[in-house]
Every structure is written in C-alpha cells, then in structure tokens.
Structure 1
Amino acid sequence: MTHVRVVIADDEPLIRAGIRMILTSDPEIEVVAEAAHGREAVELARSHTPDVVLLDIQMPVMDGLTALAELGRTAPGVRVLILTTFGERENVLRALSQGGAGFLLKDSAPGELIRAVRAAAAGDAYLSPGATRHVVDQLVTGREVERGEEARRRVAVLSGREREVLALLGEGLSNADAGRRLHMSEATVKTYVSRILAKLECENRVQAALLARDAGL
C-alpha cells in the first residue's frame, strides 16, 4: 500500500481528533493537517498537497460543497471524501455530482473509514453500501419515474457485460471485488469502468453508480 497523506476538515475538534486517531492507527496513512472550516481546508490542500481530503459538508466560513468546488478548481489532483449524516442526503448527492470521490457516515466503523481513504487514494470511489442505499432510496420525489426512464435510456447503450460491471458499481464494489464477482482481473474491470464512464458521459464512477441505481440495475 502506498503512503497516503490526508487532510481532515471538520468544525468539531472532537470529531477531528477521533478521525485522526483512527487513520493514524494505519501505518500507511499520515494526517498532515486539520481544518476547522472549508476555507482553511482549501488553503491546507494547496500547501500540503495531500492525496485525500476528508471534508465535512456543514462547516462555517466556507461550507463543504463550496470547498469541494474550490478544490476542484485549485487542487484537481486531490481526492475528496464527504463526511455526512443521514439528514444531509440531498447535499451528499450534490457533492457527488460535483466530483466528490465518495462519502461515508460520521458514525461509520473505523475499518470503513480506513477503507474509504485507501480506496480514494487509489483512484476508486468509495460508496458506503448502506449509506448509498439509504440516500438513494429516501430521495423519493415526483421526478423519480422520469429519472428512471432517463437512466434506462442512457444505460441502453452498454453491452451486457458493461451493464453487469455497472450494476456492481451501483453496489459500491471496488474494481478488485467486482473482478472476483465476475471472474475477471482487476485490470480488465478497470478497462470496462473507463469504457462505461465514456459511454455514459459520467465524470466518475460515483455518478455511474447512482445512474445504475436510477436505472434499476
């Protein structure tokens, strides 16, 4: 595992301390800085060039969504994981649509936090399976049917195997896990993912996973 540098951004000192303690229990993860608000997170990301920023949505001075957009402009190589609660599900989807590398709940198990950081640093998206299902299932609006029809229309351009891979993205599986499920190498799955993103015109695998959910895969 490559050494991973992380910036933690949360306005609650106790939350930051808990996250730091969990992450530094992994000898391959280093917390290089902590931010108490979004503006500070952006500045620290510029000066420390971390691999991953753990970004809370609700923060003073500059909120997480604004900070995410700013990081996309000024530090595009940094992967951003969104920290959230169930009550912020609409903001989560907005964050993912803006290029976030995934999200996890603040009460996630320590091992899940470490897996999320490792996945983001490796270029994968991390979708906490339970949280993803909760977010998508709870977003029941008058446009749900319309979204489903649009998603199925877009997914129709994929081959059968590509649809299988996309369905596993919707479950939050990594390339390695998807490969084991489909009896493919991780490199082959990565090739399929790249092809799927291009065909669906998705910026990242998180957007593709949500599209898979809308399409009912």
Structure 2
Amino acid sequence: MGERIVLVEDHLLFAEAMELAISLRGHEVSRVVPTEARNLTTLVDSILRRKPVLVLLDLDLGPLGDSTDIISTLTSAGSAVVVVTGSTDEADWGRCLAAGARTVVPKSRPLPEIMGVVRRVLNHERVIDLGERERLVTVARARKDELSDAAQRLGLLSPRERVVLAQLMAGRSVADTAAAETLSQATVRTQVKSILAKLQVSSQVAAVGLAYRAGWTPGDVRSASSR
C-alpha cells in the first residue's frame, strides 16, 4: 500500500472521483467531511488521527469558514498540505501558501493534472515555481493591508453614518433611507458625503463595495432617527 492520504471535501462527486483516482494509484485514502465536524478543532483531530502524509484540503469548509487557519497545524504535525479549491482569487491562494500549503490547485483542472500534483508532492518534488509562490503571497499581503486600512476607515464612522451606510448596502436610495429613518433627504445627503470623505471614496457604490470587501457589518446600531 502506498502513502496515506486524507481528502477533506464535502462535494460528493468530486470526492468520489478523487478517492477512486488515488486508490487506483495504490495509495490509502480516506475522506473527512468538514460539514460533519463541530468545529475546526474536531476537524483537525479527525484528520490527524489518520496520520496522513498528504492532506488534500478544500479551502471552503462551509459553516466552519475557510481552511487557512488549520494549514499550519497540519503541516506542523508533519503532513504536506495541498489546497484544492473552486476559488480563483489569487489573494486566497496566497494566504494558503503563506500558511504553509505546498501548492493550490483549482478544482477546474483535469483530474490527471491534479493527480500529477499529488505524485510530485509525494515524491518531494517542487510543485510551484518559487517566483510564483512569492507573487501570490505578496498579493495576499497586499489584500490584507487593504482590508486592514478599510477597517480603520470604517471605524471612523459615527453611529448615524453606520446606519446610513447599512441602508445603502441594503440597496436603498437616499430618498428611501430618509423615509425609513424619518430624516430629511438633505440630512441623509450630508451623512453620505461624510461617509465618502471618511472612507476616501468618490461614490456610494464604492463605499458599499469597500464595506463588503472588508466584511463590515453595522453592528449594534439603532435607527438614526432614535439618536
């Protein structure tokens, strides 16, 4: 029997194809379904109990979030990690590489190509160009810095401005927001101008886009009219 491989994947058809391809190459393979784990700790425990040489790890763990937080734990335990993902976001790839993944492989790649990566990892061969690895890690770091800066700017918003931005994120116009918050349209426009200035953007669309990219939520705010 070949090397012990764990596949962390909840998409049944993809998982079955991978399991078959791996077993046909003489390796011992088992699957861990992330959505069946209570939390990341139990997921990691379930993986490591199998003592894998290689973990093929889905980036999207469903309710548990993404898998970047467990990559370093798995590699520290002696397992090589290859992230297999549907994401095409280079910042996502860079985060995985920075966390210790050997490489990132899109699920859209042909199965023989994915298995070629598996073979090279098991043979301790290089699976990603060093320049490309550094480029992707740099993209991830730039994204992290961008989001940190955006979070700082969003933190400058007053409670009323947070309410107005939340209304804009819900797709409401200035008129709709004014009616919902029992304010004049002039007051709402003033709030919007202040939001744009603090966020350093030039339009409502840009403000909403920045808030979504930063994962911002208005938090515990009451209606602007109650303040």
Kindly indicate whether residue 80 of structure 2 is the aligned counterpart of residue 70 of structure 1: no
- Find the partner of 2:57 among 51, 55, 58: 55
Partners in 2 of 1:140 and 1:101 — Cα distance?
A: 16
Unaligned 5+ segments in structure 2 are: 144-227
* SS of residue matched to 2:88: helix
Larger radius of gyration: 2
TM-score with structure 2 setting the length? 0.50
State how far apart, in whole Å, the 1-side matches of 2:89 and 2:60 are: 9
Q: Distance in 2 between matches of 1:62 and 1:125?
A: 29
Q: Is contact 1:81-1:100 (8 Å) kept?
A: yes
Q: Separation in 1 of the partners of 2:81 and 2:140?
A: 27
Contact 1:104 1:127 (8 Å CA) reproduced: no
The number of residues matched between the two structures is 135
Q: Shift of residue 48 of structure 1?
A: 0.9
Local SS of the residue matching 1:96:
helix
1:44 is aligned with what amino acid? S
- Residues 19 and 140 of structure 1, relative CA distance in 2, 3 Å threshold: closer
* Stretch of structure 1 that moved more, 14-23 or 49-58: 14-23
Q: Distance in 1 between matches of 2:81 and 2:67?
A: 10
SS at match of 1:126: coil
Shift of 1:10: 1.7
Amino acid at match of 1:68: I
Structure 1 residue 22 corresponds to structure 2 residue 25: no
1:71 & 1:46 partners in 2: Cα distance? 7
Paired with 1:36 and 1:90, the residues of 2 have a C-alpha distance of 23
1:61-100 correspondence runs (5 A)? 61-73=64-76, 75=77, 77-100=78-101
Whole-Å separation in 2 of the counterparts to 1:117 and 1:140: 24
> Which blocks of at least 5 consecutive residues in structure 1 are unaligned?
144-217
Q: Is the 8 A contact 1:10 1:16 kept in 2?
A: yes
Whole-Å separation in 2 of the counterparts to 1:98 and 1:140:
11
